[in-house]
Structure 1
């Protein structure tokens, strides 16, 4: 029997701690297969993403569009669905809301990386970019790390104030800041979730900082200044979400860094020879670009949540 989940029902089926656990399980599962995603460029800079993945029991395809300036139209930047199939019978098991899955699984990936790599999980947390991903990361870090204090920087003061109000409704201490670069000095946790159409940060994170950079997921997109990325490569530890970042991590590619030489989150989780641990006394910069394996983890989490 197939279930069609609304955005609310999709979110309810994907609690952040459980979703982070499923993401780790996917990284440990040798049956998981994730073909290269298809990205078709559309008119006016839009993109169509087709992202399949499967394991021994479940097969999924994510079909979404991305239009970076949809906010000006009063529309979400990401729209679409994830179709979940049973491998044994080929029958459809669920239809999940694509934007909700994208927001929550991206934040849960950052949460898993932070659980493994953060020296100071309590924060304060600086969020740069107060859109969907900014809110998802606030919720994920609150639920999974116990963050109690957050600062929000955004080009839109109204958006920043709305996210601050959401944080306060959760019982967090929160305030908006005008200068994200200056706020880096006070925040050992940093999430950048901007539209990544131009450099948003030129400051240097603290030596004990953990940064999750999620805004840029194509070679042309960028959030962090190239000089900052080069400094982090010299003094800290760079980790990418998957090997797809080798050709998608705009921040690092535009800095002229050899992304192929960097460890991935799978290396961290499985402690492969590529992972030597974070450099002592240096920041950790986690670059996230996206992967259909994360959507497979979300499907597994949703199915487990629905099981009697």
Structure 2
């Protein structure tokens, strides 16, 4: 499969200065629908070795922070995402996460633009969830349960509203107050949003966990026709999905190699890695639809590269002169 999102170098754009895009402009360029399609293309390239995305480097930063280095390259562009995570910022009333995605031409090595790192991460992660729904569920979900009330949950509300605007979204937080506060804050994004006052897992088509929990927040007996998506746990000591759910489900992961190091849910449950199938396998149709599904999202810089392609395509489409007749 060839990428339709590739950036092509030309003498005119080689002379341009690097474009710096803040959070708002980055968001404007990353519509969820083309982002989902771009990640589907990148999934095929990544599995075929056409996108190179090594394991991320983690370097200590200050007393308790870390600097994360995540590069990826393809035939058309390369990207380097640098993310600084500083937990102490919460006490300073500052964001915990800062970062940028640098995009460069492959042929010349010339930097093209800088994208806002947290915005790219939030949107491409939610887009991976949308791709999992489209691929495994193969229908618009009627009801979705979000477990978690943080920033990534907000991105998922935006993504679900953009692609599945008729979906009912239930929200479960640390407590009812947190769920109510989240629903109130997001009511202008999606109208059909409500706190889950009781266990409504049996009613929903999709469950999405978006927490940093170290113990399972969802461990229900799996049911055919329900898709469970684990997003939040990205370290071995974290776990959102329990052994009951995992043992009874067919498991897919956006990056099975990365999951072996980062998917704490799967590591703690002692999952046999031969049971973990790639996103690309699902995209190829290698799915038993009589089975329950779990999709584990761990992330890879390949998805940031896909996002950069979408942003560049939108950016340069806007800068092209109009050919319409006057």
Answer yes or no: same fold by TM over 0.5: yes
Cα offset, 1:206, TM superposition: 3.9
- Match in the other structure for 1:194: 211
- Match in the other structure for 2:13: none
Q: How does 1:38-49 map to 2 (within 5 A)?
A: 38-41=57-60, 46-49=65-68
Q: How does 1:1-308 map to 2 (within 5 A)?
A: 1-29=17-45, 30=48, 31-41=50-60, 46-67=65-86, 71=90, 73-155=92-174, 157=176, 159-179=178-198, 182-230=199-247, 232=248, 236-242=249-255, 243-269=257-283, 271=284, 276-280=286-290, 282-307=291-316, 308=320
C-alpha distance in structure 1 between counterparts of 2:215 and 2:96, whole Å: 17
Q: Deviations over 1:129-188 (max 9, x none)?
A: 011111111211222234421111111555423432355324532211245xx1211111
Unaligned runs of 5+ residues in structure 1 are none
Q: Are residues 266 and 37 of structure 1, via their aligned partners in 2, closer, same or farther at CA, if it must alter by over 3 Å? A: same
C-alpha distance in structure 2 between counterparts of 1:159 and 1:133, whole Å: 15
Cα offset, 1:25, TM superposition: 1.4
C-alpha distance in structure 2 between counterparts of 1:14 and 1:205, whole Å: 34
**Number of residue-to-residue matches in the alignment:** 297
For normalisation by structure 2, the TM-score amounts to 0.84
Cα offset, 1:41, TM superposition: 4.7
Q: Are residues 26 and 276 of structure 1, via their aligned partners in 2, closer, same or farther at CA, if it must alter by over 3 Å? A: closer
Q: Report SS of the residue matched to 1:224.
A: coil
Asked if 1 retains the 8 angstrom alpha-carbon contact of 2:57 and 2:69, the reply is yes
C-alpha distance in structure 2 between counterparts of 1:135 and 1:286, whole Å: 19
Q: Are residues 160 and 33 of structure 1, via their aligned partners in 2, closer, same or farther at CA, if it must alter by over 3 Å? A: same
C-alpha distance in structure 2 between counterparts of 1:81 and 1:105, whole Å: 14
Unaligned runs of 5+ residues in structure 2 are 1-16, 321-326
Asked if 1 retains the 8 angstrom alpha-carbon contact of 2:160 and 2:167, the reply is no
C-alpha distance in structure 2 between counterparts of 1:142 and 1:206, whole Å: 25
